[in-house]
Amino acid sequence: MIDYSRDRSHFRVEPVEIAAPASVDECRALVARARESGLGVTARGGGTGLAGQALGDGLIVDLSRHFTGISAYDAETGLIRAESGVTPAALARALEPCARAFAPYPSTGAVCTLGGMFANNAWGVNAPCFGATVDHVESVEVVLADGTAREFGPVDPCSAKASSLERTVFERIDAQRALILAAYPPPAIPNNAGYALDRIARGRPWVADAAPFNLARLLAGSEGTLALVTALTLRTVPAAKQRFARVLRFDSASDAVAAVPGLLTAATIALEMLDASVLAAWAQTNAGTTPPWAEHAGGALLIQELDPDATESLPPPVRESITLRDAEVEAAWTLRRTALESVSAIARSDGRKPVSGFEDTAVPIARLPEYTRAFLDLLAAEGLDCVVYGSAGMGVLYFRPFLNLDDRSDRQRFDRLQRAQAELVWSFGGTVTAKHGDGRLRSHLLRDQYPADVISIWRDIKRLFDPHGVFTAGFLAGCDPENH
């Protein structure tokens, strides 16, 4: 049986009760009972989160067991309906005969769920081209805190079709739109810190050619704190017929990162970095299967997938590169997706291993090299080294310093470094949470990333959706340091 007190974070929280509902009506009944009893509700999918969002001390609602239905693909609209417990891998198999794909595919796509992806607003290696989960969601079915089931999709918030909840959210954002837009990072920086008020504020009706008003765009990334997601209507894209990528080798991770701003073009589909320690760990756990391009890699690699139709017009790479095509490209991304498992297997004799908690910051691409050097210097000042890999093309690198979290001094060092990293990333105009969520790990930092007036709006939004605090309390709007 799944250990519901753990996910892939550092936290352990024992729930009071576990339920695996088989229908929306059962979800409604669970939420109603929890509201009456004062038991907090925490939704759980694959349990792959790195920030403790799937952990709670009340009722865990496991949607991965029975909410696994996928409806027929609609060729006319390009839409497909899937329940929240469906894995991206299962959805990919369902879409394959239609030559379609759901573009976001995180590294945990074989086991995570669409509901979890939506809750975190997750994305995969192809985010430079295709964006995040929210960019591919047409509508979402949820159970609200009052036990009612609702569908949220595109709507004119000033029309008679809009619900009172939709109108009230619109009015609240409209009244504070200037404050909101000034407080959030620019849209070029991937940001999942807090509630995505800016995502709504940058859309219609304020911007005529932008995305329509849609509460699904606010619920994406809200980490289960506003509603229980049961199903999603998703937009699909044509499956790639041909693929092209190039691999570039560098003497160090810093050298690789320094090349990133000059490599990004409109033809870039993905741009990821792997340092030598990741490749060595992968080789150890996958003996005899290391591809030739990953051997003798030097200090780090960049893997850049490009639109094959645009390769002739590309400028030459900054250095000699190795070309990959079609199946070779997918094999490269398979290696990248399994990087976390490989890195997690690294352990040193002193009990230290590469730990998560520093992998979710994002800064402007132009400042990524400078930020990387500065954070590596911070680690060096603490006498630490680290593993580095991740979505360089999105301004996001996964730093995993070697620490022993069973050791009190290293736990204190963890907290000190997390705060120092946050201060550093803010000085570069970035965000502490790009893709893996705030959860128990980072919510306490939000009050320093955003002004108090924005946190106040979050709390208003939380009260509108969940006046009695039924869903995961203390995260995001709660900013509760006790959860950390």
What are the structure tokens assigned to 172, written together? 């609240």
Alpha helices, H only, 96-176 = 114-120, 127-130, 164-175
Question: Cα separation of 374 and 355, whole Å?
Answer: 19
Question: Cα separation of 156 and 167, whole Å?
Answer: 9
Q: What three-state secondary structure class fits 207?
A: coil
Give Rg (Cα) of the chain: 22
Question: According to the model, what pLDDT value does residue 362 have?
Answer: 98
CATH architecture of structural domain 79-238:
2-Layer Sandwich (3.30)
Question: According to the model, what pLDDT value does residue 446 have?
Answer: 96
Question: According to the model, what pLDDT value does residue 339 have?
Answer: 82
Question: According to the model, what pLDDT value does residue 282 have?
Answer: 85
Cα angle for residues 402, 277, 349 (degrees, 5° grid): 45
> Domain limits of the chain?
79-238, 244-427
Question: According to the model, what pLDDT value does residue 473 have?
Answer: 64
Paired residues of 399 in beta bridges: 358, 388
What are the structure tokens assigned to 363, written together? 């800064």
Q: b/e per residue, 268-299, with b = 16+ CB within 10 A?
A: bbbbbbbbbbbbbbbbeeeeeebbebbeebeb
Give the number of residues written for the chain: 484
What are the structure tokens assigned to 331, written together? 């094999």
Angular region, 223: left φ>0, alpha ψ -120 to 50, beta rest:
left
Q: Which residues of the chain have pLDDT under 50?
A: 1
Question: Cα separation of 390 and 463, whole Å?
Answer: 36
What is the distance of C-alpha 464 from the center of its chain? 25
Question: According to the model, what pLDDT value does residue 474 have?
Answer: 62
Question: According to the model, what pLDDT value does residue 321 have?
Answer: 87
Q: Judge whether 213 and 205 are in contact, CB under 8 Å.
A: yes
Question: According to the model, what pLDDT value does residue 70 have?
Answer: 99
Q: What is the pTM of this model?
A: 0.95
Q: Write the DSSP symbol of residue 73.
A: P
What are the structure tokens assigned to 11, written together? 């936290």
Cβ contacts of 363 within 8 Å, gap of 6 or more: 189, 371, 395, 425, 428, 429, 430
Q: 358: number of CA atoms within 13 Å, CB side?
A: 28
Q: 6: number of CA atoms within 13 Å, CB side?
A: 5
Question: Cα separation of 78 and 263, whole Å?
Answer: 32
CATH of 244-427 among 3.40.50.10320, 3.20.190.10, 3.30.70.2190, 3.30.1050.10: 3.30.70.2190
Question: According to the model, what pLDDT value does residue 481 have?
Answer: 52
Question: According to the model, what pLDDT value does residue 136 have?
Answer: 99
Q: Write the DSSP symbol of residue 134.
A: G
